[in-house]
Amino acid sequence: MKAALAREHLQRIPLLRGLSEEACHALVEVAEAVAFQGGEQILIEGRQAPQLWILLQGACEVVKNLDQHSGSPVVLATLEPFATFGEMSFFHPAPHSASVRAKTNVRLLRLTRAAFERVAEEHPGMAYKVALNTMSSLADRLRRMDQWVAELLAGKDGTARVQEWAKLREQLFNGWML
């Protein structure tokens, strides 16, 4: 089933962009096909599970809990087929920064970090391209977030908020330089 599924979707998955057919098949073979019903939790904020997910069918929501007293969680994004998620905890061992739940019935591929490392030994170029594609995806998300924050800050009391954002961003970038 996975091999047929992979042939059907390989070219449409941005995470696999630039991989040889052999490397794609090797990666898909170590991934697990899973399904969730609408409303089921896939990732839970605050827990750690180094798994990379590829959404094949259906839709998921990325949900962030602001705090226990603020009420309902905030939906940050809706994911559609061929999107990936879980990459932050997959490449950097840390708890999930948000939850992901199935908005509809979904079919996914789940790749564990251990399985990825095993297949990367045989296909080191594959590991490099998957990491590069992930970095590109995260950079695009950061650009969109920057634009959204800039538009938000330009609203009321823009000057003070722009200064706060500049300070936060400086701290983030200084913290990232290892």
Q: Is the pLDDT of residue 51 over 90?
A: yes
Give CA torsion, residues 52, 55, 60, 66, to 10 deg. Answer: 20
Position 75 in a domain:
yes
61 pLDDT exceeds 70?
A: yes
Task: Give residue-wise pLDDT tens across range 97-136.
Answer: 889 999 999 999 999 999 999 988 988 888 899 989 988 8
The CATH number given to whatever domain includes residue 58 is 2.60.120.10
- Domain for residue 172, yes or no? no
Higher model confidence: residue 66 or residue 44?
Answer: 44
Torsion over CA: 108, 114, 120, 126 (sign): positive
Spatial contact of 29 and 10, defined as CB atoms under 8 Å apart: no
Domain membership flag for residue 85? yes
Count of domains observed in the chain: 1
What is the predicted pLDDT for the residue at 171? Answer: 60
- In a domain, residue 77? The reply is yes
E strands, the chain, where? 32-36, 41-43, 51-57, 60-64, 74-79, 84-85, 99-102, 106-112
Residue 14's contacts (CB-CB under 8 Å, 6 or more residues apart) are: 82, 84, 133, 137
Is 122 inside a domain boundary? yes
Any domain includes 43:
yes
Average pLDDT (70-95) is 86
Answer whether residue 49 is part of any domain: yes
Residue 105: domain span: 2-147
| 157 in a structural domain | no
Q: What share of the chain is helix, strand, coil (3-state, %, to 5)?
A: 50, 20, 30
d(C-alpha 151, C-alpha 176), whole Å: 24
Q: What mean pLDDT is predicted for residues 10-33?
A: 86
Position 71 pLDDT exceeds 70: no
